[in-house]
Structure formats: structure tokens, C-alpha cells
Structure 1
Amino acid sequence: MTRKFYLPLLLSIICTFLGATAFAQKAGSGSDQIATFASPIQDFPTEGELFGLPVNIHGQTTYINQRYNNFTSSYSGPNSLNAQNSMSYTWSGTLFFGARVAPDTDIYFNPEVISGVPFSGLVGLGGFTNGEGSKATGAQAKFYSARAFVRQTFNQEGDKVVLENEANQITQTVSSNRVVVTAGQFSTLDIFDDSRYAKDPRIQFMNWGNMTYLAYDYAADARGYSTGLAGEWYLENWVLRASRMLAPKNPNGRDLNWQIFNTYGDQIEVERQHNIADLPGKVSVLAYRNRMILARFSDATNYVVANNAQGTQAINNVRSNYQYKTGVGIHGEQALTKDLGIYGRAFTSDGHTETMSFTEADNSISVGMGMNGTSWKRPSDTIGISMMQNGLSSFRRGYLQAGGVSYFIGDYAGAGQTISYRPERIGEVYYNAMVIKNVLAGLNFQHINNPAYNAARGPLNILSFRIHAEF
């Protein structure tokens, strides 16, 4: 490992030490927090007042290092995963500032820094192995705004619910029946498809297919953030969510298109929460519709054949008209005991057009479980196991088999050497240990069959090390 890869790890360790020592004077057991498989943050004095306004501040730092050995590859194309042993890393740091400017009005700002080198320049997989990878553009640290938004709560009649102090949430008493409006810069995934067991790659599963539905092409810039308006209506055990978010100017681009009535990503979600034997669970259905100038795979395939353009990103040559892209999925999760829970996601997109913002998948299914370490006297430790299968539509598959190259994938290497299509299958397991208060260290293992939907390549095994700290 060269010095540029050691530096983020050193910075993460320093931030870990500072976060653990500067705020360790007030800490509880923390087991209830870890049992939800969410943040390891504990009851630190991160709320106060500034100019008479309630404020809070939190922070996180995460270092992830991933490696794999040589894997079998009959051939490689322009967007193939490197078949030789490789190493990847990301390091991120985020500050979460919040202020309550009126009784039910909060504003939040999250400056973020990232450095990292993803495997093969972030090509060669559908389900990428590190949820932070899309933000990384090199070893030099980049600073940017991740979130800057306002949240307005309209309380109605209902039971009182206390929302505890955490990142992007000042302690607040709300009604079980309420409407919440969020406007500004944030991630679509901040609002939609929440999960207790599989959501945050900094502390849970790392693979993109466990952040959300892999086939959900949610509106975002290349880092995963966007700007828009979202509404949530809480009615006892039901939640209805809807939003319109800005789409990128170009597919998978960094810059957003502010013509929100011409290019956009819409989504709607209905969630039903429940308890079985006093153990929480929920079921949700999510649908989306994107609109922007996108290439249709049928047009791109015709272009490849007519112009002998194998091995090129022909999608760039047929991207001229506004297209709609739609999809729908279902997500369910259930706690089986106080310390064990399961989840499952399934999604399908229409598959006619290229990817707008997320990754190369038109259908996906994932299942898994999460458990904390109470039974082995480590209640603050967590373990997770998951399996997923990702697939392509006949339109995207036909384009790749004709010799076309897509944004993230494309194994074309000459006549007869296009993808030998098989669904991409990924197994993932992780273990996190609480080494000191508010500091997690963990190992993660991923086994990938048919990377980039090609049976002629792989399988490969990826071992990851992670350290994560919060205050």
C-alpha cells in the first residue's frame, strides 16, 4: 500500500480518537441503538442553543479498504472489472449541522469530504461493492455540500411521538398524524426506502444492492445527491411519501438540470408499519418515473449493427429525445426477536432506456438478516448476511450482446466475445465490533458470480475492512 492510501486511514484513526475522547464524558449502554442496526452514536451532548435557537451538530468518518485476488476471465472489454488482484479504498467525513428556526421548522447543512479510488474506475459490476465508491474521484480529498435543506412539520391530532437527537434531527415532539415537507439539497434515499437492516454502507452492508433496490434508478447526481421537494404524510401506522427531484444534465453526470418540469425523477411510496408479537415490521411499495433525454437500447443496438460500432458506447449516438423510465418495487422487513430481524426487496424497471443516475440493473431481488451480539455478550456488535440477484432487460442485454458498451459495463472484446448472459449473484456478510464507544471496526466479505452479468468472467471474492466513528 502506498502512502496516499495510508493517509485517509491515518486521518480516520485520528478523527476516531478525537470523537471518542472529546465526547466520552456522557454515555449510556448504547445497546438499544445498536439493536436497531442503525447509528452507533450514543447520548452525547450534541444539542444546545446558538443565538437563542436550538441547534445540534454531529459528525462521522468512515474508512473502507477492499481487495480481491486474480479471478478467471476468458476476455475483458473496455468497461470490464480488472481481472488482476486489485485494491480499492474510500475515506469520507461529514458534519451534520442543524438549527430550529421556528417551532416546527428546521434547517440542516452537511458539508462532506471524500477521497478514494474505486475498483477499475467504477466499472465492471451491476452491484458495486462499496456504497461510498460513487463519490470518490481520486486520492486527493474533495470537499462539497452533501445536503442543505429545510424541513417543515405540520402536526395534526394524534399521539405524541418523540424524535430523538441524531444526525439531521433535533429532538422534537411530533404527532403520530403529521405532514412533513423537505425542500432543498438531499438524497432521494434520505426519504424513500428506509430499512432498519440494510441501508447505510458506512455501518451496515456495503454493496449498492443493499443500500436500496438495485434496479431503482433514483434521481441523483454522480455522488448520489439531488435537489427537490418531498412530502410525507404520517397517519398512525401508514406513511405516504412523494417527491420530485432534479435529474442530471447528462446520464450519471455531476451537474443537475434545473429545468424541473422537463427533466426530473418522481417517486411515490406507501408504507404500512405493524407489530407482530410486539416486534416491529413494515411493508412498503415504491414506484418511480424519470423523464430526461435518454438513449433507447433498441435504437443503440440498431446503431451498433448498422455502423459496425462494436466496442463503443453507441448509446451516446442515439440520445436525442425525451424518454420516460418507470419501475416499481416492494420492501418488507420484520424483527423476529429483540436482537434478530430479516428483510427483503424486489424491484423491476421497464428496461427500455439507459441508466439515468444509479447503476446497470433492470430487475433485482435481495434478502438478508441482521443480528446483534447479545447472545455472545457483545450487544453492541452486529452481524449481517445477505444474498441478491440482479438482472438485465432483454433490451439492455441485446445491446450488450450486439457488442455495445454501456456506462458501467461492457465486456466486448472482439467477434464472439460479448457477454454470456447470466444474472449477477452476490452474497455478502459483515461483522462490526464496537472497539470503543462510538467507534466500529468491521470486516466484510462479498462473493460475486457473473460480474456484469457475464458467465465468462468470475467468480471473485472481495474482502473489506472498515472503521467508522461518530460524535
Structure 2
Amino acid sequence: MKNFPLKPLGWLVAGLHLCSASLAVAADEPAAATDTESTMARFQSTYIWQKKPGFSAAYSGQNSLLPRAERSYTFTLDAFLGFRPWQNGELYFVPEITQGVPLSNLTGLGGFTSGEATRVGGSHPTLYRQKLFLRQTWNQGGGRQRVEGEVDQMAGWVERDRVVLTAGNFSTLDVFDDNAYAKDPRSQFLNWSGMSHTAFDYAADARGFGWGAALEWYRGDWVLRVGRMTGPTTPNGLPTDLRIFQRYGEQYELEHAHTLAGQPGKVRLLAWRARALLANYADALAYGQANPTASKDWIGAVRNGVKTKYGLGVNLEQALNDRSGVFLRAMKGDGKTETYAFAEADASFSTGYSTRGTAWSRDQDTLGVMVARNMLSTDRRRYLAAGGMSFFIGDGALRYRPETLFEVYYNVNVAKGLWVSLDYQRIANPAYNADRGPVNVGSVRLHAEF
């Protein structure tokens, strides 16, 4: 790790200068030269400012969302670098600079208010390697399809029927649980419940990345994906446990593309399991009751063996016309084992609507609306109600209610490659506690791509 004493808005301004230069060069390139990219250098910069006023709370604990007014920010700057070392092979390297301070030190919610918050580690810019991975494609016919250039993807052509291997250091969410309308907190919904299933406890380090491999098999309208990734050495920690044959996260996803009322859509079924050094909530509660004077981290006291947890979910996206669509995600986990690497949720549901601003002559703008509901298992409820703490939540007591969320954003395209978003979130029963909240969070997001 290296620290650089630079302010995030300064980085954003520098990034916009690079953006202008990159676009000027791209405008002079002939179309044939960019038909299939042999190398790639793209960049993104995102700054998110959030504020919440004070809210009502009958009590607060060690891992509560603070009831007083707070402000936070996150900043990221990424370079997406790639080249083709051989035919149908792609190698990518992504360094990232991060800076920021999340609300309440990233505690007190099941679905946190910003998907960028896990990547930042303090008020000083930090440079680290985010990704380093190889993608190999074996084309098997079915007709050529165009692949447009974007982050982590060089422009080119593939066959409709193909096998794709991704291996190295990347995120599980780079391959699994995609959705056209709810995926990327840099341009779509900010809340964790909009970037994936909140109950999808996928293997990753504290920033959301790991080492592993994923294999995708495309056949007509179907895609089958399987993958195995490394997770943290301790739950939600940064060091990664590289013993991928002993401790890991596995994913299995089946996707089908369809047409409904003349509009495209997709359905995805996702099953996952994790094997790691984890604790069961029932064991942790028994320990706490037997040792009433012990630290409230009862989970850590009984984390002494490899456990398996699992979940199953469905993910739908459906276009309504050429500018708008709807989505739905629902997932349920086993609910017996502590959070491994993502959010504090044992079941989750989210649905919403997204549209471009074509109807009001703003085709590059986007409006999105989402509602979400996150839930806890009986075992986890009992543990928290008794005063136990987990990684992200723990109010010292619990009057359980599902955590519910409403989010709306409007993304304004102010110039080529530059967007400004306004976002509002209202969260009832933060950390599943009816004795606290509701919480209102307003956000401003600046996002540049070049």
C-alpha cells in the first residue's frame, strides 16, 4: 500500500482533463482501427457525497448507525488496462486509488447506503491492485456477435456459442448476478441492495475482490456459469485465504434470455455456498448466555471450525420498450451462520424500474426507482436481541422488523463521459430494529468515464 496526500476532487479534475484528451484522440481514429481492440486503456472516476440528518433511536450499541447528523464521501479512480496476448485471449490489470469516510464507520445497516463504501479505507488516498485476470474464449459457432468496448472488456467479436474462462484476481460480481437495470453503484442505484442480492454472501476480501476462476458456457439463449473464489481469512477482513481447495466460495448460475411482448428479458437462477472459518449464531448465543460478563463479540469466541453456508436466488430483468425496463431479485440463505464477506442479511428482495430520459429529450439521462426488503433468520435475531455483536450490526438489543428501503435517483449526462446524479434513500428499521429510524440519506454523485 502507498499513500498519496491528494484531495479526491483534485483527482477528479485531473481525470476530467485526461478524459478530454482521450476523447480528442479517439475522435481522430478511423473506425476500422477500433473495430477489434488489441489494447485498451480506459479510466473512471467517481465521487459520492452523502448526508443524513439525525433520526430517532431508543438506544444505540457498538455497531449502530449513529443517530446524529452525519456526512460522508467516497472517491475512486481506476485505470482499466488490457491487451490480447494471443488469439481470443485477454489480459487485464486494474489499479485503483481510493479515499473516503463512510457513514458511521460502515456499521448499522443491512443494506448499506453506498456500494463504493467498502473500497475506501480512510481520508488519505490509497493505491492498490484491484484486479489482475485473464479471460480466454473458445468460439464454437452460432454466428458472430459484437462485443462493445467498456471497462474490463475490449471491443471485438465473439461467436454466440462459446466457452469463456475468467481466472485471476477479480470480483465474483464481475461474472455472476448481472442485471441491466440494477448492478453498478457508479451509475445506477447506490444501495448495496441495488448492486446484488443483499443475501448473496459471495466470497471476497473487504474491498469485494478475490482470486479464483469462473467458467461460462454459452449455448443459444442459455448460459451456464460455475465459479470458485477465495474469501477472507476472517469474516469481512482484507487478507485473503488462498487455500482455495479448503476454504472458498462457489457459485452456480443458469441464465435464459427470452422475448416477452416483443421485448428482451433474462432470468437467472443463482445457487452459492461458502466454506470457511465461521461461527454459528446458535453456538454464539449459547456462549454469551454462559459467559454474561464476556465481550459482546460472542461470534469471535466460537469461531473455531470450518462451516458451510449456502443460498439460492432468482434474478429477473425485462425491457418494457427500447428505453425502460424493470427488475426483480429474491434470495434466501440458510440463516444459521455468520456473514462471511458481504452484507448482514439472510433473505432479501428488491424490485424497481429504470428509464432513459428519451420522453423529455434527455436520452442520456437515467431515472431509477427501487424498493427493497432485507430480513434476518430466527437464529440471528435471537443472537442480536440478546445483545450480541456481528461485523456490521449490533444495537445491544433488537425489536425485530425487516429492514425496508426506498431509493430514487436521477442521473444527468452533463457532457460526454460525465454524469451528475442526485439520489435519495429512506430506510425503515435500520439494522432490522423497529426501535430506531427511519433514516433519510441524500447523495450527490459525480462520475466520469474516459
Under TM normalisation by the shorter chain, which class is it? over 0.9
CA deviation map 1:265-324 (0-9, x unaligned): 001000001122432100010000100110100000001111004761110000011100
In the other structure, the counterpart of 2:158 is: 174
Alignment partners' CA distance in 2, 1:105 and 1:127: 37
Residue type of the partner of 1:91? F
Q: Is residue 291 of structure 1 aligned with residue 275 of structure 2?
A: yes
Answer whether contact 1:197 1:369 (CA < 8 A) is retained: yes
CA contact (8 A) 2:11 2:77 kept: no
- What residue identity is the alignment partner of 1:433? V
**Residue 225 of structure 1 pairs with residue 204 of structure 2:** no
Partner Cα distance (1:83, 1:144) in 2: 33
Name the amino acid aligned to 2:410: Y
Q: Any unmatched runs of 5+ in structure 1?
A: 29-42, 413-417
CA distance in 1, matches of 2:267, 2:371: 19
Which of 74, 97, 101 aligns to 1:113? It is 97
SS at match of 2:307: strand
Counterpart of 1:271 in structure 2 is: 255
The answer to whether the aligner puts 1:429 opposite 2:408 as a matched pair is yes
1:206-217 equivalences under 5 Å are: 206-217=190-201
CA distance in 2, matches of 1:126, 1:295: 19
After TM superposition, give the deviation of residue 24 of structure 1 in Å.
4.3
RMSD value, Cα: 2.0
Three-state SS of the structure 2 residue aligned to 1:101 is coil
Change (3 A) 1:45 1:390: farther
Secondary structure of 1:298's match?
helix
Deviates more, 1:163-172 or 1:210-219: 163-172
The one of 418, 430, 433 aligned to 1:451: 430
Q: Deviations over 1:30-70 (max 9, x none)?
A: xxxxxxxxxxxxx9999699xxx920111000000000111
CA distance in structure 1 between the partners assigned to 2:322 and 2:27 by the alignment: 22
Partners of 2:111 and 2:314 lie apart in 1 by: 19
Distance in 1, matches of 2:5 and 2:312, equals 40
In 2 relative to 1, CA 44–57 (structure 1 residues): closer, same or farther, beyond 3 Å? farther
After TM superposition, give the deviation of residue 112 of structure 1 in Å: 0.5
Preserved contact between residue 430 and residue 443 of structure 1 (Cα < 8 Å): yes
In 2, Cα distance between equivalents of 1:286 and 1:59 = 31
Aligned to 2:326: 342
TM-aligned CA deviation for residue 178 of structure 1: 0.4
Per the TM alignment, residue 7 of structure 1 is displaced from its structure 2 partner at its CA by 2.7
Where does residue 39 of structure 1 map in the other structure?
Answer: none
2-side partners of 1:288 and 1:224: how far apart? 16
d(CA) in 2 for partners of 1:331, 1:183: 24
What amino acid is aligned across from residue 364 of structure 2 in structure 1? S
Structure 2 CA distance for partners of 1:122 and 1:81, relative to 1, 3 Å? same
Counterpart code for 2:416: K
Q: Partner of 1:408 in structure 2?
A: 392
Q: Could you tell me which amino acid in structure 2 is paired with residue 99 of structure 1?
A: F
CA apart distance, 1:337 = 1.0
Shift in Å, 1:21? 4.9
Letter matched to residue 463 of structure 1: G
How far, CA to CA, are the matches of 1:93 and 1:59 in structure 2? 7
For 1:258, the aligned partner's letter is L
Give deviations 1:94-133, integer Å, cap 9, x for gaps. 0001101111111000001100000111110010000010
The CA deviation at 1:157 is: 2.2
Q: Say whether residues 1:301 and 2:285 are aligned partners.
A: yes
Matches within 5 A, 1:378-397: 378-397=362-381
Structure 1 counterpart of 2:285, one-letter code:
T
Alpha-carbon distance in 2 for matches of 1:84, 1:396? 27
CA contact (8 A) 1:48 1:54 kept: no
CA distance in 1, matches of 2:145, 2:321: 23
Which 10-residue stretch deviates more, 278-287 or 227-236? Answer: 278-287
- Asked if the contact 2:270–2:312 (Cα under 8 Å) also holds between the matched residues in 1, the reply is yes
The answer to whether the Cα contact below 8 Å between 2:35 and 2:156 also exists between their aligned partners in 1 is: no
Q: Distance in 2 between matches of 1:348 and 1:54?
A: 42
Q: 2:203, 2:248 within 8 Å by CA — same for their partners in 1? A: yes
Alignment match of 1:98 (pick from 82, 87, 92) = 82
1:195 and 2:179 aligned: yes
How many aligned residue pairs are there?
446
Q: Is the 8 A contact 2:5 2:125 kept in 1?
A: no
Mapped contact 1:47–1:56 kept (Cα < 8 A) = no
| Identity across matched positions, percent | 46
Q: Distance in 1 between matches of 2:406 and 2:73?
A: 20
Query: Alignment partner of 2:253: what SS?
Result: strand
Change (3 A) 1:47 1:316: farther
Matches within 5 A, 1:18-167: 18-24=18-24, 54-167=38-151
Secondary structure of 2:354's aligned partner: strand
1:373-395 per-position Cα deviation (integer Å, ceiling 9, x unaligned) = 00000101001000000000001
* Structure 2 runs not aligned, ≥5 long: none
Cα distance in 2 for partners of 1:293, 1:355 equals 11
For each residue in 1:209-264, what CA deviation from the matched residue of structure 2 results, as whole angstroms up to 9, or x when unmatched? 11100000000000000110100000011000000101211111101111111100
Match of 1:441 in 2: 420
**Offset from partner CA, 1:186-230 (integer Å, 9 cap, x none):** 000000010100000001000001110000000000000011010
Cα offset, 1:11, TM superposition:
2.4
SS of residue in 1 equivalent to 2:381:
helix
> Which residue type is aligned with residue 432 of structure 1?
N
Q: What residue in structure 2 maps to residue 463 of structure 1?
A: 442
What displacement does 1:169 show?
A: 1.5
**Residue aligning to 2:12:** 12
Where has structure 1 moved over 3 Å in runs of 4 or more? 24-28, 43-49
Contact preservation (8 Å) 1:48, 1:55: no
Letter in 2 for 1:153: T
Instruction: Say which SS state the counterpart of residue 193 (structure 2) adopts.
Output: helix
Give the Cα–Cα distance (whole angstroms) in 2 for the partners of residues 394 and 349 of structure 1. Answer: 12
| Amino acid in structure 2 at the alignment position of 1:431 | Y
